Structure 1
């Protein structure tokens, strides 16, 4: 993994080329994506070019998405699982093949994303966005060193009671494991006891466990430190220059989100059209520019904004370990769920 994340981002002033005459109506497309993670202008462009009417619903974690698909009655045509959940979704028969190598635009994908370990050959998925997970600190509240998990899990007085954490067992526990120097997806009960002890020590200082509304809480001052994704931290800094994204020396979680079609999707052909649309550099650039994350499509660098190319949130300091999230075993997931249930009770 490269230590310098090269952002493939759309230009802030990118002009969308919309036809003056709307396309003929071509049915519907129901997208289920993470909250505040889909560029509105991208949907407008897709609708104008195809005549397809898009409906967008949102979720706050991979666990929520998994539960929705397991319920068997989602009604969605596009979903966006993170890489470490893709294998779980495939194993449970929750995704149907798209055989992306046969689709228009597949040649635009970066080589690393054509043979990603979670889906070699893009049989079920294509890349959407990728980035890192750490935490954002309001440096007008705390001016000390933030590049350590010690600040997050054993916070100084200035930050106590003003901390926001994700409402996601996978993401919170993984961060605690890295902080403690433990392996991800541990199947060792004693190691997971250490994780629970750390999180319970932190809990009195946590104001909320919530993966939604992070930007609003940081900007309003409701929280002064929040577990966060790098792209969302860029957006927080745009609202308040005092916001700083941490790169803990212990390691930074790295992830890749993917477009996929759930089993039983009623509008499969329209889902394929959307996937092909998103493999075009000028389109994925609109999404990256909106969300602030890198993508896996070659050629989208032509649409970068200078501000995003310079964003420190996209370039970890030399030597910072990048730790890719892993697909956990059933035993590890069971231990995670026990820790999470105990923490939140």
Structure 2
């Protein structure tokens, strides 16, 4: 796993019962290219808390690290289904985000999600979708179908020109949508259909990599890329010919959340940071950087117009029935998925 470290400034608006200026440090473990450096500098200038940022490339990487006993992180950013897994495994501290000063600014339904109904263990960060992007200037006719077929049964011109995310869940789920089987299936025959699709696609795939999706597409290194919608937005700012697709077979709708690992060394600073990030102007700065929407009331007043006008971010209403929520699969389904992923990557 590529591990980037930034030593930066931290913190801002604080909990009502906490001092306006704190001391110490904060260790943030987040997805790569998902944290605005200038926002961390602002946080430090306002609070005096020094931030060290490490990055990961999948929820499974994050979970494995915590399960292995990794200590030292204060704030992590798991996706919705992973929050539930971590709660069940006793890996998270209770932080009662809804009771924080800015907790009342959480918008419905993000204030009472199924995976943490009372927001006792988490607070919302960004939310979005996982589809794919392509460069319309580099495909015959300038258009690919609004279907996963574009990447799973690609035209010859795309051979070696497709990147997929290095993410077991996202790759498996997209193939499940295309196969027409439940993504949490426990049926080996259905899992085999998914594996067959991914195996047939593999000769067309240059690599599986979740880092650098924006740079790779913007530079023209590849023609098509499985991509998160916020990354697609940032790609289009550099290469306007890029198109983000909502496949007709289904597209995962997800949200990422702040949480605090059990035994975090700087628990109070973690709470200060999470509350500060729920302040509208701060979370809006994160949205402007990442290209994703957030779940905080009043934040749109501080957001770039380009976000509001890009269909990759502001999804057209006609695509609403294509959204498929993230699911917490059973142990049996997760084991089957992992076996498919292991076979694919071997």
For normalisation by structure 1, the TM-score amounts to 0.92
Matches of 1:24 and 1:132 in 2, distance apart? Answer: 37
Q: Are 1:144 and 2:143 matched, yes or no?
A: yes
Map of 2:198 onto structure 1: 199
Q: How does 1:1-345 map to 2 (within 5 A)?
A: 26-142=23-139, 143-320=142-319, 321-345=322-346
Instruction: Structure 2 unaligned segments of length 5 or more: list them.
Output: 1-11, 14-19
RMSD of the alignment, in Å?
A: 1.4
TM superposition shift of 1:24: 6.2
Q: Would you say the 8 A contact 1:164–1:225 is kept in 2?
A: yes
TM superposition shift of 1:183: 1.1
Q: Would you say the 8 A contact 1:137–1:146 is kept in 2?
A: no
Name the SS for the 2:293 alignment partner.
coil
Name the SS for the 1:133 alignment partner.
strand
Matches of 2:165 and 2:238 in 1, distance apart? Answer: 21
> Deviations along 1:104-140, whole A, 9 cap, x unmatched?
1011111211111010010000100000000110111
Instruction: Structure 1 unaligned segments of length 5 or more: list them.
Output: 1-16
TM superposition shift of 1:101: 2.1
Map of 1:10 onto structure 2: none
- Bigger drift between 181-190 and 192-201 goes to 181-190
Matches of 1:71 and 1:185 in 2, distance apart? Answer: 25
Please identify runs of 4+ aligned residues in structure 1 that moved more than 6 A.
Answer: none
> Deviations along 1:220-257, whole A, 9 cap, x unmatched?
22211000000000111111111110111112111000
Q: Would you say the 8 A contact 2:21–2:46 is kept in 1?
A: no
Matches of 1:99 and 1:266 in 2, distance apart? Answer: 18
Name the SS for the 1:274 alignment partner.
helix
Matches of 1:263 and 1:42 in 2, distance apart? Answer: 25
Matches of 1:101 and 1:238 in 2, distance apart? Answer: 35
- Bigger drift between 209-218 and 254-263 goes to 209-218
Q: Would you say the 8 A contact 1:247–1:317 is kept in 2?
A: no
> Deviations along 1:118-173, whole A, 9 cap, x unmatched?
10010000100000000110111112233111101011112121100011111100
Q: Would you say the 8 A contact 1:141–1:159 is kept in 2?
A: no
- Residue-pair matches, total: 325
> Deviations along 1:262-298, whole A, 9 cap, x unmatched?
0010000000000110111111001001001011101
Matches of 1:24 and 1:284 in 2, distance apart? Answer: 20
For normalisation by structure 2, the TM-score amounts to 0.91
Matches of 1:53 and 1:318 in 2, distance apart? Answer: 42
